[in-house]
Chains A and B, each alone.
Chain A
Amino acid sequence: MKYVDEFRQPEKAEALFKAIDNLAAPLSDKLARAVHIMEFCGGHTHAIFRFGLEQRLSKSVELIHGPGCPVCVLPMGRVDDCVALAERPEVIFTTFGDAMRVPGSQKSLLQAKADGADIRMVYSPLDALNLAKKNPDREVIFFALGFETTMPSTALTVLQAAEGNISNFSLFCNHITTVPILESLLDSPTFNIDGFVVPGHVSMVVGEKPFATIAERYKKPMVITGFEPLDILQSLHMLLVQLQSGKPCLENQYARVVQKAGNIPGLMAMQKVFELREKFDWRGLGEIDKSGVKITEEYAAFDAERKFAVPNLKVDDPHECQCGEVLKGEIKPWQCKVFGAPCTPQNPLGALMVSSEGACAAYYSFGNTKELLDKRQEARPTK
């Protein structure tokens, strides 16, 4: 496929692995530890594992998998809200497939569906809007989640619903924003990341400026990155060159898709339909100021939270879960107490085990689980 195959050529990857090794080794010697690079986006995490990049990197570079999987950071209380909405008899609840298996405090959407709730997986928010047109006697709710990448599509769908006077369509809005969470990580005193692989498709929407500002303020190398293996390797190389030169800035590796100003029509639609929430709750990380959006007053008629009573209860994560520490890069997924047993992709306790973009699910599916669990056993104090 054009724009895919040429960014997957193995012989070019070989050269990049070597170039990365050459740059990383002296940097790692100087730091007396591996160079820590965080990929923020779950799409990058998925690609890194799918193409086995991590196993091939030298020990001088360590990849830390950040909190950029929207399904994984969804708090349990919000899943309960989804289930409560979906179980209303008049409601058809529509969602992307990834969200189906996220555990709530009582059940997941998949279990609610098995119990009789009318829950349907859709590919696009526009499919949900079409369902509303076809079922005028039902209330169709679309579970809007994701970072800025998915916001233009839901905003434009709401605008279409408003234009067509579709009154039985609404959004349960759980969109989250990238910059506040990145800042909250960078402000944490224990956070030691040397550079960032910046989400390519969030940047495609918001443009370069928000990340350029962070790179400048925190003096951290940042590279906007595409999702093919050569994109990621080239980006790592660019980050290491920046670290070597001691001149951190924002660079754009993914210029074939990301324009400097972002996507103007998309941003305009977002501005009409969404406004920042004062704060939003993240699984494992707690409440973060201005890290989510809600629907503006003008489009209140399309807001499921205003239209229906939503329980909106805060539910603590299972106490044995260490999702928060994994999200912040403080421990590796396999170092979590419940990784592999009892927490597995088939029966996830924590959200990081649910989505194929979650770090734990990636380690479980693509790593050697037995070897990792033995390593955890060895690392434990013996007394």
Chain B
Amino acid sequence: MCLGIPGQIVEIIDAEKKLGKADVSGVKRVINLACIVDEDNPIQSTIGQWVLIHVGFAMSKIDEQEASRTLQLLNELGEAQREILEMELKQQ
């Protein structure tokens, strides 16, 4: 019920009705952009943007920098874990 899927906005269909098209895994779907458009973020500025789509609505922009920050943290954790393992192996 609460799940969403990432897609990239490729086209604005109707600026007044806030409708656009998003590419979701190669399939183009009409989605409503009302939740990601406001005075500071005009509808044309959303083209190219990755968004999280839920029941036909773009619910949130996906922040590229935050995504890579999370992955970076995961990498660091992986490396730290490897070091611990190596230390343990040496001690044995």
Contact = CB atoms under 8 A, between A and B. Distances in A.
B71 to A, nearest CB: 6
Interface stretch (A199-207, A327-335, A375-383): A199-207
Interface string B64-92: 10110111011101101110110000000
Name, among B3, B25, B64, the residue most crowded by chain A CB atoms within 10 Å (CB to CB): B3
A126 B70 contact: no
Contacts of B60: 204, 257-259, 263
Contact of B55 (A18, A69, A150, A258): A150
A44 to B, nearest CB: 9
- Chain B: interface size category: 35 or more
Interface in A35-50: 41-43, 46
A257 B2 contact: no
A256 B36 CA distance: 14
B1 A149 contact: yes
Interface string B34-49: 1111100000000000
Nearest to B68: A256
Interface stretch (A3-11, A280-288, A345-353): A3-11
A124 B55 contact: yes
Given A149-B54, A263-B60, 7 more contacts: A15-B78, A16-B74, A19-B81, A123-B55, A153-B54, A153-B57, A255-B66
A104 to B, nearest CB: 19
A46 B60 CA distance: 22
A265 B34 contact: yes
Contact of A43 (B1, B66, B82): B1
Contacts, number: 135
A98 interface: yes
Nearest to B63: A256
7 contacts: A1-B25, A15-B77, A15-B82, A19-B80, A156-B35, A234-B74, A259-B60
Closest 7 CB pairs of A and B: A124-B56, A15-B78, A256-B67, A15-B81, A256-B66, A255-B66, A3-B6
A217 interface: no
B3 to A, nearest CB: 5
B59 A255 contact: no
A84 interface: no
B70 A256 contact: yes
Nearest to A125: B55
Interface residues of A, number: 59
A126 B61 CA distance: 21
A126 B31 CA distance: 10
Contacts of A22: 84
B57 A156 contact: yes
A292 interface: no
Contacts of A127: 56
Interface of B: 1-4, 6, 8, 25, 32, 34-38, 50, 52, 54-57, 59-60, 62-64, 66-67, 69-71, 73-75, 77-78, 80-82, 84-85
A70 interface: yes
Name, among A4, A127, A153, the residue most crowded by chain B CB atoms within 10 Å (CB to CB): A153
B25 A96 contact: no
A315 interface: no
Contacts of A201: 2-4, 52, 54, 59
A79 interface: no
A4 to B, nearest CB: 6
Nearest to A200: B2
A231 B62 CA distance: 15
A195 interface: no
A3 B67 contact: yes
A265 B35 contact: yes
B92 to A, nearest CB: 16
A2 B70 CA distance: 14
A355 B1 CA distance: 9
A255 B63 contact: yes
A264 interface: yes
Given A1-B25, A19-B80, A156-B34, A199 B2 contact: yes
A138 to B, nearest CB: 21
